[in-house]
């Protein structure tokens, strides 16, 4: 039926796109034009929205990614699978090294697990039941079926079960940058944001019921720390509680939910409750970050699980010698490295901060005779930074323009004057000349921009 009582209610509008379609998708019927538009009551609101669309279009990671030579997709050989080019891969390496360092400093241990396992593992975990439609089809080998992993959890559990754990061992925190494969419908795939293969910054915490609150506080602190380093300080936090269908005891759910609530309150983090939106296996906290265009992205998640510990008969011996079942907490901070990278590209508009920039400094010799000195400076600076020399026989203005387009944060220009004085002309992306400095001054100045772990 009509959604408006009168078209007079439509004030300021703009046609956004058109497309041809058939009545009810039947190609034997006549073709129709479908039009998409947007309307606002005030002109300013429409202008603001159109500006937002333009800005979002300019930041689109699917355009910037190939333009800056960061990543590509090759759908002819499989949709939703990401190829990291050297410039994207160095950013990923920096993020991953940073992530591992911080985890090791915060009481986590790093583990590595396989990418496939016999389907029976997924039967025990329950994934072949409740998660089947998100899984790739199994592979037959040696008369067995092997499943590509959609999640890392069962593998971590197998390691847990290699020996009898005591209450003294808990909490155990195991982290893995685990690559998983999930089947997503072709139509929902979207650049780096919705893919079929991705790496989770995953960790599993095995703890006692009493330890949940403190463990969640630690994770929330890690979340603020990591996201803050990338300039995300605005979050929306959701606490999801017990759904209608659930496993575990109502008492266990109540205790875990209270522990999550208390952790959020102690960290003074505002949150909204999503009643009944928890996963069937336990309550959870989801954190959405807000980027510079005020768009929200789901990143971090902290989930308590009452299901898997039961299914795999996880045990620890308590103080009195009795066997107890530990609590399992699944958590990811960035979520997926691929997705987070997509968000970062759009958030920064490809202007990565100094510590992440694939090429941090480009040295631009004015003519060929300045190349030896430029290389000398490069060797000196490359002990600390990622530096390249533009050796091409091009005018320096063109070299500057291209370094600007490629979003290299700093440029050092070297000509006769610089070579004679031993000083370097330092130029900043988007800002222009900063002045002349000795190589040592440049090192001191730029070292401060490297993120503190």
Residue among 336 and 360 whose Cβ is closer to Zn ion: 336
Phi, psi of 346 (to 5 degrees): -75, -40
Cα gap 174→156, rounded to integer Å: 8
Residue among 202 and 390 whose Cβ is closer to Zn ion: 202
Are 329 and 303 in contact by the 8 Å Cβ rule? The answer is yes
200 is catalytic: yes
Residue of 147, 173, 202, 242 marked catalytic:
202
Are 83 and 73 in contact by the 8 Å Cβ rule? The answer is yes
Q: Given the rule CB under 5 A, which of 54-62, 149-157, 265-273, 274-282 is the region that contacts Zn ion?
A: 149-157
* 227 contacts Zn ion (rule: CB under 5 A): no
Alpha-carbon torsion angle 353, 358, 361, 364, nearest 10:
-130
Residue of 196, 242, 330, 429 marked catalytic:
330
153 is catalytic: yes
- Of residues 73-112, which lie at the interface with Zn ion (CB under 5 A)? none
284 is catalytic: yes
Number of residues that bind Zn ion (CB under 5 A): 2
Are 73 and 186 in contact by the 8 Å Cβ rule? The answer is no
* 330 contacts Zn ion (rule: CB under 5 A): yes
Cα gap 290→372, rounded to integer Å: 47
Cα gap 219→284, rounded to integer Å: 13
Residue among 328 and 424 whose Cβ is closer to Zn ion: 328
Within its chain, how far is the Cα of 329 from the centroid? 20
* Residues near 216 by beta carbon (within 8 Å), at least 6 away in sequence: 259, 260, 263, 285, 302, 329
Q: Given the rule CB under 5 A, which of 56-64, 145-153, 169-177, 280-288 is the region that contacts Zn ion?
A: 145-153
Residue of 127, 153, 207, 370 marked catalytic:
153
Q: Given the rule CB under 5 A, which of 255-263, 265-273, 324-332, 418-426 is the region that contacts Zn ion?
A: 324-332
State in angstroms the smallest separation of the CB of 180 from Zn ion: 10
Residue among 72 and 109 whose Cβ is closer to Zn ion: 109
DSSP 52-96: HHHHHHHH-HHHHHHHTT-EEE-GGG-TT-EEE-HHHHHHHHHHH
State in angstroms the smallest separation of the CB of 138 from Zn ion: 20
168 is catalytic: no
429 is catalytic: no
* 153 contacts Zn ion (rule: CB under 5 A): yes
As a whole number of Å, the CA-based R_g of the chain is: 27
Residue among 92 and 330 whose Cβ is closer to Zn ion: 330
Are 237 and 271 in contact by the 8 Å Cβ rule? The answer is yes
204 is catalytic: yes
Q: Given the rule CB under 5 A, which of 152-160, 189-197, 272-280, 367-375 is the region that contacts Zn ion?
A: 152-160
Residue among 330 and 427 whose Cβ is closer to Zn ion: 330
Residue of 200, 211, 303, 360 marked catalytic:
200
Residue of 149, 182, 399, 407 marked catalytic:
182
State in angstroms the smallest separation of the CB of 328 from Zn ion: 8
315: closest CA among 120, 154, 163?
163
DSSP 209: G
State in angstroms the smallest separation of the CB of 391 from Zn ion: 49
Residue among 307 and 360 whose Cβ is closer to Zn ion: 307
Are 358 and 90 in contact by the 8 Å Cβ rule? The answer is yes
State in angstroms the smallest separation of the CB of 216 from Zn ion: 15
Residues at the site binding Zn ion, with contacts judged by CB under 5 A: 153, 330
Catalytic machinery residues? 153, 182, 200, 202, 204, 284, 330
């Amino acid at each position: 039926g009509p959604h408006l009582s009168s078209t007079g209610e439509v004030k300021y509008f703009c046609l956004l796109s058109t497309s041809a379609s058939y009545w009810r998708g039947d190609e034997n019927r006549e073709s129709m034009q479908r039009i998409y538009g947007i309307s606002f009551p005030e002109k300013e609101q429409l202008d603001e929205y159109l500006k937002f669309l333009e800005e979002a279009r300019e930041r689109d990671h699917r355009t910037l990614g190939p333009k800056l030579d960061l990543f590509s997709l090759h759908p002819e050989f499989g949709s939703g699978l990401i190829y990291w080019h050297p410039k994207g891969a160095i950013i990923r390496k920096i993020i991953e090294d940073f992530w591992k360092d911080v985890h090791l400093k915060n009481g986590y241990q790093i583990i590595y697990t396989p990418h496939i396992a016999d389907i029976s593992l997924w039967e025990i975990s329950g994934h072949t039941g409740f998660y089947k439609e998100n899984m790739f089809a199994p592979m037959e080998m040696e008369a067995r079926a092997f499943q590509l992993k959609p999640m890392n959890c069962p593998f971590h559990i197998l390691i847990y079960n290699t020996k009898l754990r005591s209450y003294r061992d808990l909490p155990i925190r195991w982290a893995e940058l685990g690559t998983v494969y999930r089947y997503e419908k072709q139509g929902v795939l979207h650049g780096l944001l919705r893919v079929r293969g991705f790496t989770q910054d995953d960790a599993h915490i095995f703890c006692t019921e009493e330890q949940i609150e403190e463990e969640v506080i630690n994770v929330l602190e890690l979340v603020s720390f990591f996201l803050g380093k990338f300039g995300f300080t605005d979050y929306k936090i959701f606490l999801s509680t017990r759904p209608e269908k659930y496993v575990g005891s109502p008492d266990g759910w109540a205790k875990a939910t209270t522990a999550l609530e208390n952790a959020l309150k102690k960290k003074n983090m505002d949150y909204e409750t999503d009643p009944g939106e928890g996963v069937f296996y336990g309550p959870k906290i989801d954190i959405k970050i807000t980027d510079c265009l005020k768009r929200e992205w789901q990143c971090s998640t902290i989930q308590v699980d009452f299901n898997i510990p039961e299914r795999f008969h996880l045990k620890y011996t308590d103080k009195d010698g009795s066997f107890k079942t530990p609590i399992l907490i699944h958590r990811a901070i960035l979520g997926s490295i691929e997705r987070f990278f997509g968000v970062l590209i759009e958030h920064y508009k490809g202007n990565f901060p100094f510590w992440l920039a694939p090429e941090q400094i480009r040295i631009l010799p004015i003519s060929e005779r300045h190349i030896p000195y430029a290389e000398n400076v490069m060797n000196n600076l490359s002990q600390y930074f990622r530096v390249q020399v533009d050796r091409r026989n091009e005018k320096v203005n063109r070299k500057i323009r291209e370094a600007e387009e490629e979003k290299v944060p700093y440029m050092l220009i070297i000509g006769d004057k610089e070579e004679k004085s031993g000083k370097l002309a330092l130029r900043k992306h988007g800002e222009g000349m900063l002045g002349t400095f000795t190589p040592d001054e440049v090192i001191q100045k730029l070292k401060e921009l490297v993120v503190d772990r």
